[in-house]
């Protein structure tokens, strides 16, 4: 039997609760489709700071190196917010993990299901059929990692500097990811940039345009990021794949998520060259509801589906999970984040059971 080895980093807040359900779904799916997933758990984020005084301990990195994929929960919370910024879980664990494993391609699908239009803050009449878009975000370059990056004292205060750098090669590899993803969807890529102001955006346009002829069936267009932010709340259904540099993708993907209505629905994949990847819900650790057993496990479950597809090539199993989620929602199952007044709301575990029963 085929066996896949994964590192499980459940993290903080609702991470462990939704992770437990995600692992149950993986177990049920692998049984049904005839493969095996072995997993080992490692500390990351706030829990790792508490245990090891390090948000990303060497033991966790080692566990991830020895695995074929990382299944990630969420990190951070009020307990660690007073630490200096470079020690906080998000910056001290997530960014180094991305860089260390070369996870340059971040896929963030945002899908608003027709039965859940009411959850979207947009007017239902503006999105009669829902929408389904994919943010492809460059994840290891740009302002997040460019050097110099520091703050120095000057005469009248301080001077802080971040540096936006991109090289052709970095743009090329993420562009291929975007075009390939579009080929499996509605065959349109929109490059989100600020080419009227930024040098880096001009290099993005030039590089993406040069690659486009290799994908003759994909339509390519360009949109300034300020306009894209506006178009997303006016008519999100106009987008298929939104290709973004790191910071633009950070902002646009949160906006796309808000447009769907619940962060609890959105998975993400962060991919390296080859098959290694990190899979995590797009939402955060939601400390306000942690420990109550009411968090929506769907983002974690759909992240498991992405892992099966992109790291293990188990496409049928991945689709089975996605279809089970869709059917469960269509049948009216709702966690608290999706419930309307009067709707019964399911617990995290109950939602997981509903989905498992449809796989």
Q: Which residues are catalytic?
A: 144, 194, 226, 250, 254
* Residue 291: CB minimum distance to ligand IPM, A: 21
Quick one: which of 37, 44, 49, 94 contacts ligand IPM (CB under 6 A)? Answer: 94
Residue 24 contacts which entry, Mn ion, ligand IPM, none (Cβ below 5-8 A, type-dependent)? none
Q: Residue 326 binds what, of ligand IPM, Mn ion, none (CB under 5 to 8 Å, by partner type)?
A: none
User: Rounded to whole angstroms, how far apart are CA atoms 175 and 163?
Assistant: 22
Q: Closest residue to Mn ion, Cβ-based? A: 250
Pairing of strands 267-271, 277-281: antiparallel
| Nearest residue to ligand IPM, scored by beta-carbon proximity | 90
- CB-nearer residue toward ligand IPM: 240 or 250: 250
Smallest gap from residue 335 Cβ to ligand IPM (A): 22
Of residues 7 and 94, the one with the C-beta less far from ligand IPM = 94
The residue (of 170 and 314) whose beta carbon lies closer to ligand IPM is 170
Instruction: Please list, in sequence order, all residues whose beta carbon lies within 8 angstroms of the beta carbon of residue 85, skipping any fewer than 6 positions away.
Output: 91
SS (H, E, C) the chain: CEEEEEEEEEECCCHHHHHHHHHHHHHHHHHHHCEEEEEEECCCCHHHHHHHCCCCCHHHHHHHHCCCEEEEEECCCHHHCCCCHHHCHHHHHHHHHHHHCCCCEEEEEEEECHHHHHHCCCCHHHCCCCEEEEEEEECCCHHHCCCCCEEEEECCEEEEECCCCCCHHHHHHHHHHHHHHHHCCCCEEEEEECCCCCHHHHHHHHHHHHHHHHCCCCEEEEEEHHHHHHHHHHCHHHCCEEEECHHHHHHHHHHHHHHHCCHHHCEEEEECCCCCEEEEECCCCCCCCCCCCCCCCHHHHHHHHHHHHHCCCCHHHHHHHHHHHHHHHHCCCCECCCCCCCCCCECHHHHHHHHHCCC
Write the burial class of residue 153 (CB in 10 Å: 0-12 exposed, 13-18 middle, 19+ buried).
Answer: exposed
Contact window for ligand IPM (CB under 6 A) among 88-96, 189-197, 198-206, 328-336: 88-96
Contacting Mn ion (CB under 5 A), which of 250, 280, 314, 337? 250
Task: For the CB of residue 280, give the shortest distance to ligand IPM in the complex, in Å.
Answer: 8
Residues 221-250 that bind ligand IPM (CB under 6 A): 250
Shortest reach from residue 34's CB to Mn ion, in Å: 37
- State in angstroms the smallest separation of the CB of 125 from Mn ion: 30
Tell me if 90 contacts ligand IPM by CB under 6 A.
yes
Half-sphere exposure (CA, 13 Å, Cβ side) for 301? Answer: 30
Q: Of the listed pieces 92-100, 244-252, 263-271, 289-297, which binds Mn ion according to CB under 5 A? A: 244-252
Partner interacting with residue 94 (select from Mn ion, ligand IPM, none; CB below 5-8 Å by kind): ligand IPM
Structure tokens at 214: 């290799």
- The reply to whether 280 sits near Mn ion by the rule CB under 5 A is no
CB of 74 to ligand IPM, least distance (A): 10
Residues contacting ligand IPM: total by CB under 6 A: 5
Q: Which stretch binds Mn ion (CB under 5 A): 32-40, 185-193, 243-251, 307-315?
A: 243-251
Q: Decide: is 116 part of the binding site for ligand IPM (CB under 6 A).
A: no
Q: How far is the CB of 299 from ligand IPM (least distance, A)?
A: 13
Stretch that binds ligand IPM, among 1-9, 86-94, 322-330, 334-342 (CB under 6 A): 86-94
Site residues (CB under 5 A) for Mn ion? 250
Site residues (CB under 6 A) for ligand IPM? 90-91, 94-95, 250
């Amino acid at each position: 039997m085929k066996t896949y080895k994964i590192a499980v980093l459940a993290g903080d807040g609702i991470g462990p609760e939704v992770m437990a359900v995600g692992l149950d779904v993986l177990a049920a799916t692998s049984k049904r489709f005839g493969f095996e997933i072995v997993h080992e758990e490692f500390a990351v984020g706030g829990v790792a700071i508490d245990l090891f005084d390090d948000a990303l301990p060497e033991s966790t990195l080692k566990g991830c190196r020895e695995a074929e994929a990382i299944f990630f929960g969420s990190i951070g919370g009020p307990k660690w917010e007073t630490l200096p910024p470079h020690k906080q879980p998000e910056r001290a664990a997530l960014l180094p993990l991305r860089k260390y494993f070369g996870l340059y391609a971040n896929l963030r699908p945002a899908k608003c299901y027709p039965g859940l239009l009411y959850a979207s803050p947009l007017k239902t009449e503006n999105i009669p059929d829902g929408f389904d878009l994919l943010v492809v975000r460059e994840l290891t370059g740009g302002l997040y990692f460019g050097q110099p990056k520091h703050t120095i004292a000057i005469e009248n205060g301080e001077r802080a500097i971040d540096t936006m750098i991109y090289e052709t090669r970095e743009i090329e590899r993420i562009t291929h990811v975007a075009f390939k993803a579009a080929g499996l969807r509605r065959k349109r890529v929109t490059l989100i940039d600020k080419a009227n102001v930024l040098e880096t955006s001009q290099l993005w346009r030039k590089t993406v345009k040069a690659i486009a002829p290799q994908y003759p069936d994909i339509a390519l267009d360009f949109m300034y990021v300020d306009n894209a932010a506006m178009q997303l709340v006016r008519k999100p259904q106009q987008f298929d794949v939104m290709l973004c540099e790191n910071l633009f993708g950070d902002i646009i993907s949160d906006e796309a998520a808000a447009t769907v209505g619940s962060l609890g629905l959105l998975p993400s994949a962060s991919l390296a060259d080859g098959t290694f990847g990190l899979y995590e819900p797009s939402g955060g650790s939601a400390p306000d509801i942690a420990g109550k057993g009411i968090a929506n496990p769907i983002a974690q479950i759909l992240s498991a589906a992405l892992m099966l597809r992109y790291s293990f090539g188990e496409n049928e199993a991945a689709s089975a999970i996605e279809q089970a989620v869709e059917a469960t929602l269509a049948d009216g199952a709702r966690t608290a984040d999706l419930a309307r007044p009067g709707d019964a709301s399911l617990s995290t575990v109950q939602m997981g059971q509903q989905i498992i029963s449809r796989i």
